[in-house]
């Protein structure tokens, strides 16, 4: 899976002779008129800063993949408008996940999307991923923040106001809240419905992604209740036409956001 490489060749050019500024050897400073305009001196935003500014939009449709998901399909989903990809791989040991994560990170960076690794901070570090998503039983968000630094995006699974407050204090950037509906995957708690989203929205200002059992036709109420996006697995990946379903979800989410005013 995910074994297609991209290589870009560039013709080597001779380095131009360095230009010595007139004040470089005499300790003098340039006059104000010789300086570039102040707006040109502003540092360019880092990738982490740029992702945070767009985070609520990027989370609108959040697709969770594994190592067997074809890279070509991920690319088509990103081209359709999916803003976030998460690698959730429970079968491969972390060292074998890193090459997969590197390919996904490169693709998401090329497409302007967010890429996070589920659970494994080491894989996120080794692959240069944009961030990590951790559950309540995984490495604590505070530990993940210390290891990843301030630039990376950290998502935390939460279901109660207390968990939301702790995640915020630990440096989380967004919350994954669920289960919202009944899901095909193993469920350890009863689904809370859109009402769960509404309760969590009252408890936190962090972006919220609804999780579990969400697909076209039931995503709208999740957004209307206060979520910023929906996380999906089988609704998209098991569909006869995953791209068509992703587009339908994007439209439903956008429509529900407009309806909130």
Count other Cβ atoms within 10 Å, centred on residue 149: 9
Contacts of 218 (CB under 8 A, 6+ apart): 181
Rounded-to-integer distance, Cα 224 and Cα 1, Å: 37
The dihedral through the CA atoms of 237, 61, 51, 76 has a sign that is: positive
Rounded-to-integer distance, Cα 104 and Cα 191, Å: 31
Backbone angles phi, psi at 83, to 5 degrees: -100, -20
CA neighbor of 219 nearest in space, from 187, 246, 186, 184: 246
> Tokens standing for 257?
């956001």
Q: Are 192 and 225 in contact (CB under 8 A)?
A: no
> Tokens standing for 3?
């074994």
Instruction: Answer yes or no: 186 catalytic.
Output: yes
Rounded-to-integer distance, Cα 233 and Cα 211, Å: 10
Backbone angles phi, psi at 85, to 5 degrees: -120, 130
Task: From the candidates 5, 6, 17, 186, give the one annotated as an active-site residue.
Answer: 186
| DSSP H helices in 24-160 | 38-41, 47-53, 55-58, 71-80, 94-111, 121-127, 141-148
Instruction: Answer yes or no: 157 catalytic.
Output: yes
Task: From the candidates 88, 111, 147, 166, give the one annotated as an active-site residue.
Answer: 88
Task: From the candidates 52, 60, 127, 157, give the one annotated as an active-site residue.
Answer: 157
Tell how strand 84-87 and strand 61-65 pair up.
parallel
Catalytic residues: 88, 157, 186
């Amino acid at each position: 899976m995910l074994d297609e490489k991209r290589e870009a060749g560039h013709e080597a050019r001779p380095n131009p002779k360095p230009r010595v500024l007139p004040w470089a050897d005499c300790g003098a400073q340039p006059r104000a008129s010789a300086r570039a305009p102040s707006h040109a001196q502003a540092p360019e935003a880092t990738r982490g800063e740029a992702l945070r500014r767009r985070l609520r939009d990027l989370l609108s449709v959040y697709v969770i993949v594994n190592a067997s998901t074809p890279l070509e399909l991920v690319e088509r989903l990103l081209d359709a408008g999916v803003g976030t990809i998460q690698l959730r791989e429970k079968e491969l040991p972390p060292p074998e996940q890193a090459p997969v994560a590197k390919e996904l990170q490169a693709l998401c960076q090329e497409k302007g999307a967010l890429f996070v690794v589920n659970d494994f901070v080491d894989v996120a570090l080794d692959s240069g991923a944009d961030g990590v998503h951790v559950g309540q039983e995984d490495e604590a968000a505070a530990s993940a923040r210390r290891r990843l630094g301030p630039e990376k995006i950290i998502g935390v699974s939460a279901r109660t106001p207390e968990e939301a407050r702790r995640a915020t204090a630990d440096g989380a950037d967004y919350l994954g809240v669920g289960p919202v509906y009944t899901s095909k995957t193993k469920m350890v708690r009863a689904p809370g419905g859109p009402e769960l989203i509404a309760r969590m929205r009252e408890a936190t200002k962090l972006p919220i992604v609804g999780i579990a059992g969400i697909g076209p036709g039931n995503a709208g109420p999740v957004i209307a209740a206060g979520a910023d996006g929906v996380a999906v697995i089988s609704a998209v990946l098991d569909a006869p036409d995953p791209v068509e379903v992703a587009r339908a979800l994007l439209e439903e989410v956008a429509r529900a956001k407009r309806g909130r005013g």
